[in-house]
Amino acid sequence: MTFDELNKLDLKTLADWPLPTKLGMLAVLLAAIVLAGWWFDWRGGMEALDAAKQKEAGLRSTFTVKKNQAINLDAYKKQLADIEQAFGALLKQLPNKQEMDALITDINQAGLGRGLQFDLFKPEAETLTEFYAETPIRVKVSGGYHDLAAFVSDVSKLSRIVTLQDISIEPTKEGVLNMDAIIKTYRYLDDEEIIALKQQSGDKKGDKKGDKKQ
């Protein structure tokens, strides 16, 4: 059927239309109804359904995580206990405030015991962190290669945590070696120091907030 023939069709004579024309118009009408229904009603429902599916997937994922955590709760508790035990063992390697003098003496004796000559042995100011304090010691020692190596080895074998940093070694005309280094020792803070440090940190945060308001 041509476009001109379609224009000549009259709805008043719908009953007299040819069967192919009736079927064609019915198909167009159904398509229009479906399109209108999707646009004005079904589209919102589909979007809501997609959102519900995404929410369901998120809830399922959360449920799976929580379920695994519940299943592995005993394993997590054991892991936490192991971590606390390891932390306690590590903490024991840090001296307290009263033991620091003995540790510094041990470092000095380690060098003297190897026949090294100390030109400088200067503990500097502590740096406080949340749980421990760090004390750098600037040292300048001179001696033979093997003696210096043995001294470094002895320091690393101390029962306390001691590190050597910024090591610089230079030979001299006398055939000995000069070593400049920073030896860092660590100690844990006692309860009073931790409380004071937290209070100091809180005061600084309060001062910053006050400056911002001004």
What is the distance between the alpha carbons of residues 70 and 67, in angstroms, rounded to a whole number? 5
User: Is the CB of residue 141 less than 8 Å from the CB of residue 169?
Assistant: no
**Model confidence band, residue 142 (pLDDT cutoffs 50, 70, 90):** very high
Angle at CA 130, nearest 5°, toward 128 and 131? 90
| In the predicted structure, residue 69 carries a pLDDT above the cut 70 | yes
Higher pLDDT, 190 or 58: 58
**Model confidence band, residue 138 (pLDDT cutoffs 50, 70, 90):** very high
| In the predicted structure, residue 12 carries a pLDDT above the cut 70 | no
Burial of 161 (0-12, 13-18, 19+ CB in 10 A): middle
Q: Which residues contact 160 (CB under 8 A, 6 or more apart)?
A: 93, 94, 95, 103, 106, 185, 186
Higher pLDDT, 189 or 162: 162
**Model confidence band, residue 68 (pLDDT cutoffs 50, 70, 90):** confident
**Model confidence band, residue 103 (pLDDT cutoffs 50, 70, 90):** confident
pLDDT at 119: 92
List pLDDT tens digits, range 152-161: 999 888 878 8
List pLDDT tens digits, range 105-129: 888 899 999 999 999 999 898 888 7
Going by DSSP bridges, is the β-strand pair 177-188/162-171 parallel, antiparallel, or unpaired? antiparallel
Taking residues 70-83, what's their average pLDDT? 79
Length of the chain: 214
For 164, how many CA atoms within 13 A lie in the half-sphere containing its CB?
19
**Dihedral, CA atoms, 154, 157, 159, 161, nearest 10 degrees?**
100
- What is the identity of the amino acid at 46? M
| In the predicted structure, residue 194 carries a pLDDT above the cut 70 | yes
Percentage above 90 pLDDT, the chain:
18
CA-based Rg of the chain, rounded to a whole angstrom?
41
User: Is the CB of residue 151 less than 8 Å from the CB of residue 105?
Assistant: no
Determine the distance from the C-alpha atom of residue 185 to the mean position of all C-alpha atoms in its chain, rounded to a whole number: 26
pLDDT at 182: 93
The tokens describing 4, both together, are: 């001109």
**Mean pLDDT score of the chain:** 77
Q: Model's pTM, two decimal places?
A: 0.50
